[in-house]
Structure 1
Amino acid sequence: MQWNLRMKAAERGIWKSTEMRRLLAEAGVEISAGKMSQLWTGTPNIVRLDELDVICAILDCEPSDLLIREPNKVAERRPDRQQAASASSASPVVAPRFGNRRSEPPL
């Protein structure tokens, strides 16, 4: 996923993270300076849904405007089908065991 916060903020005339942080605080969401820096400068690992909702309200956008799918990156992570087929054929066959195969308890 690509995080598109700065572009959407710029479309609304918000050029600094401090201004965005102030707008979030006015809307009732307090974000630390460190987390705001992460949201502003890169792709965050975690975005709380309540924060995302307020960000979308401030920027008058949808979550899909902020989170842009990158299907090529997903395809690159997928193992090659030939490799997956050869790996599955090389694995041992598992056969069920019937009857009582428990060991006896120690004396």
Structure 2
Amino acid sequence: MIKKMGYEWHLRHKMAEHDIFHTSDLVPLLAERGITLSREQVYRLVTQPPQRLSMDTLVALCDILDCTPNDLIEPTIVNQSVRKAANAGSSDRPAVQRTTIRRPATEQ
């Protein structure tokens, strides 16, 4: 079975809950916690789900927004499980067919 996972990024929503509506407002709050990011980097962090995120940045965001990583990151299933088989659409197992191996007759 193959299960393709994704995630929802809720940073903008959590910011709004704390009356933080401008991405640039996060820059000094992160800097207070030792995280130095440019305004452009913070903008991308807020507007796009990050592919990589340092644990230090995640912890700083959680501290700023008084939340947990689970509040920021929601795992989702992108594709439902797919069975890798010749008859993937069928839930029944394929019929088993026995094979007989015959050796050629040897002359003596």
Q: TM-score, normalised by structure 2?
A: 0.69
Return the offset for 1:74.
Answer: 4.0
Q: Percent identity?
A: 35
The alignment covers a number of residue pairs equal to: 81
Return the offset for 1:33.
Answer: 2.3
- Considering Cα pairs closer than 8 Å and 6+ residues apart, tell me whether 1 or 2 has the greater RCO: 2
In structure 1, stretches of 5+ residues that fail to align are 88-107
The structure 2 residue matched to 1:65, chosen from 64, 71, 75, is 71
Residue of structure 2 equivalent to 1:34:
40
**Highest Rg: 1 or 2?**
2
Structure having the larger proportion of residues in strand: 2
In structure 2, stretches of 5+ residues that fail to align are 1-6, 88-108
Tell which deviates more after alignment, 51-60 or 34-43: 34-43
Structure having the larger proportion of residues in helix: 1
Return the offset for 1:34.
Answer: 2.5
What is the aligned-residue RMSD (CA, Å)? 1.5
Q: What is the rounded CA distance, in whole Å, between the counterparts of 2:43 and 2:15 in structure 1?
A: 14
